[in-house]
């Protein structure tokens, strides 16, 4: 992932997506479209070609992707193609071919070119965290939606009772009043349907206040889940990062997904102290990239990608046995003590491996 070529390719693709989206937006202005039609056509052909190559390359390499590694190649490719991000990729190249075949009646689908914007999700950990926050809070958000629908129905039917005689065109039926209710509850208030009777105005005031309270609920839920998610993940813990850790090599896809939920991340700069001898222990660390140094009385021990540390104090419920410092820039995956104990209980082979390593290290130093 730290390969400069990979960075350059990602940067190039991001730039192309931004240029594409800007081109689609500008092309909708007739004066700009007429003056630069060749330029827009050039952008479309070049990006259609590059996005197709990108799609084909990703499809071809799907069996190498850690989540699909245990599958047959054709199955891995099929599973990859069904992934939402891959569907976005496909929708992003579709307009290029539709325009080429000049399919009648499908010209409006050319707006699908704006779908290219969503390709950015792949390169934006923040967007991924937002999606995860929304997914994690889906039940609470669904409850908010149900409450909102209930409030809308209540406000619409009460308003229908209060104003149907005076304004039959706006509040004559409950569906008509529902339009007013949703516009009021969401605090948009277009003003095209307004109550005129005193009782109607009281209902409108109560509905507007209820709307404020009800909209604050989902906003608060998503905001706090998002900030929790961002802080939980200093960098985004990806599937491949977890699947590459040798300790988790035997886990199946479901278990990796479970472990991924528990892992937090931390980036360290060279020389940074990660755990200090004698401190209380709350977590164990897995090295995703970079090196650390365990400061021991004799020679320091260097640990690298795939190794773990910080397990001894947790397993033995003692204080840290040594100080561990980052030797290079490194990325660590952090597993909290409770999650570690749960993982060990659920996976005896991992438990055995960690205990063996801890015993060997303890034998070398602390026993
Ligand atoms: P813990 O005691 O929680 O915190 C310090 C960590 O350093 C310890 O867990 C081990 O993971 C690691 N450690 C201690 N001694 C050694 C050793 N001899 N070799 C490698 N790692 C060690």
Angle at 93 between CA 102 and CA 236, to 5 degrees: 165
Mean pLDDT value of segment 225-235: 71
DSSP letter (8 states) at residue 104: T
The Cα diameter of the chain in Å comes to: 92
Q: Ligand 1 pocket test: pick from 280, 292, 324, 354 the residue with the most ligand atoms within 8 Å of its Cβ.
A: 324
Tell me the CA–centroid distance for residue 360 and ligand 1, in Å.
10
Torsion 1-236-66-118 (CA) sign: negative
Give 242's pLDDT tier (boundaries 50, 70, 90): confident
- Report the C-alpha gap between 88 and 121 in whole angstroms: 10
User: Does residue 272 carry a pLDDT above 70?
Assistant: yes
Give 108's pLDDT tier (boundaries 50, 70, 90): low
User: Does residue 102 carry a pLDDT above 50?
Assistant: yes
| Distance set, CA 243 to CA 68, 75, 215 (Å) | 11, 19, 40
> Which amino acid residue places its CA nearest to atom 8 of ligand 1?
310
Tell me the CA–centroid distance for residue 361 and ligand 1, in Å.
6
Give 222's pLDDT tier (boundaries 50, 70, 90): very high
DSSP letter (8 states) at residue 284: E
**Tell me, what's the pLDDT at 343?**
87
| Residues 205/211/217/223 CA torsion (nearest 10 deg) | -110
**Tell me, what's the pLDDT at 235?**
62
Residue 3 phi, psi (nearest 5): -65, 130
The three-class DSSP label of residue 273 is strand
**Tell me, what's the pLDDT at 1?**
47
Give 67's pLDDT tier (boundaries 50, 70, 90): low
**Tell me, what's the pLDDT at 289?**
86
- Report the C-alpha gap between 179 and 170 in whole angstroms: 9
Encode 146-185: b = buried (16+ Cβ within 10 Å), e = exposed: eebeebbeebbebbbebbbeebeebbeeeebbbbbbbbbb
Q: Which residue, among 331, 342, 349, 354, has the nearest Cα to 262 in the 3D structure?
A: 342
- Report the C-alpha gap between 165 and 2 in whole angstroms: 70
Which residue(s) pair with 285 in the sheet? 309, 334
Distance of CA 148 to the CA centre of its chain: 26
Q: Which residue, among 116, 353, 69, has the nearest Cα to 239 in the 3D structure?
A: 69
Q: Give the residue carrying structure tokens 């990325």.
A: 331
The three-class DSSP label of residue 244 is coil
Q: Ligand 1 pocket test: pick from 292, 359, 361, 367 the residue with the most ligand atoms within 8 Å of its Cβ.
A: 361
- Report the C-alpha gap between 192 and 321 in whole angstroms: 71
**Tell me, what's the pLDDT at 104?**
56
Q: Give the residue carrying structure tokens 């706090």.
A: 224
Mean pLDDT value of segment 270-291: 90
Atom from ligand 1 closest to the CA of residue 284: 3
Structure token digits, residue 33: 């479209």
Counting other chains too, the contacts that 71-80 makes at CB distance below 8 Å and 24 or more residues apart are: none
User: Does residue 367 carry a pLDDT above 60?
Assistant: no
CB neighbour list of residue 28: distance below 8 Å, 6 or more residues apart: none
Mean pLDDT value of segment 270-285: 90
Tell me the CA–centroid distance for residue 366 and ligand 1, in Å.
9
DSSP letter (8 states) at residue 233: B
Tell me the CA–centroid distance for residue 281 and ligand 1, in Å.
12
Residue 208 phi, psi (nearest 5): -65, -40
CB 352 within 8 A of CB 250: no
Tell me the CA–centroid distance for residue 133 and ligand 1, in Å.
35
Q: Considering the entire predicted model, what is its pTM?
A: 0.57
Helix axes 4-27, 37-61, angle to 10 degrees: 140
Mean pLDDT value of segment 320-333: 90
- Report the C-alpha gap between 225 and 234 in whole angstroms: 15
User: Does residue 245 carry a pLDDT above 90?
Assistant: no
């Amino acid at each position: 992932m730290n390969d400069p070529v990979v960075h350059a390719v990602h940067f190039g693709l991001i730039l192309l997506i931004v240029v594409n989206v800007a081109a689609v937006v500008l092309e909708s202005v007739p004066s700009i479209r007429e003056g630069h039609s060749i330029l827009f056509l050039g952008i479309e052909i070049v990006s259609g070609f590059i996005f197709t190559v990108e799609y084909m390359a990703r499809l071809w390499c799907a069996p190498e992707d850690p989540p699909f590694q245990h599958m047959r190649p054709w199955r891995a490719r099929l599973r990859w193609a069904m992934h939402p991000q891959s569907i976005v990729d496909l929708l992003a190249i579709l307009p290029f071919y539709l325009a080429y075949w000049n399919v009648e009646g499908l010209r409006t689908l050319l707006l699908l070119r704006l779908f290219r914007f969503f390709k950015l999700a792949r390169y934006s950990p923040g967007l991924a965290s937002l999606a995860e926050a929304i997914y994690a809070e889906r039940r609470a958000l669904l409850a908010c939606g149900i409450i909102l629908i209930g409030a809308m129905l209540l406000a619409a039917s009460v308003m229908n009772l209060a104003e149907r005689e005076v304004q039959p065109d706006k509040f004559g039926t409950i569906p008509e009043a529902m339009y007013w209710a949703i516009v009021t509850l969401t605090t948009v208030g277009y003003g095209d349907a307004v109550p005129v009777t005193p009782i109607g105005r009281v209902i409108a005031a109560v509905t507007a206040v209820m709307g404020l309270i009800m909209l604050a609920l989902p906003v608060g839920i998503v905001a706090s889940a998002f900030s929790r998610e961002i802080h939980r993940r200093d960098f985004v813990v990806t599937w491949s990062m977890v699947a590459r850790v040798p300790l988790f090599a035997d886990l199946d896809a479901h278990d990796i997904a479970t472990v991924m939920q528990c892992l937090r991340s931390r980036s360290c700069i060279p020389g940074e102290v990660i755990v200090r001898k004698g401190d209380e222990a709350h977590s164990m660390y897995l090295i995703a990239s970079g090196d650390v140094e365990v400061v021991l009385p004799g020679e320091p021990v260097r640990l690298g990608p795939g190794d773990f540390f910080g397990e001894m104090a947790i397993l033995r419920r003692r204080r840290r046995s040594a100080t561990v410092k980052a030797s290079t820039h490194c990325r660590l995956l952090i597993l909290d003590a409770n999650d570690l104990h749960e993982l060990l209980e659920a996976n005896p082979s991992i438990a055995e491996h960690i205990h063996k390593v801890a015993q060997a290290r303890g034998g070398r130093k602390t026993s």
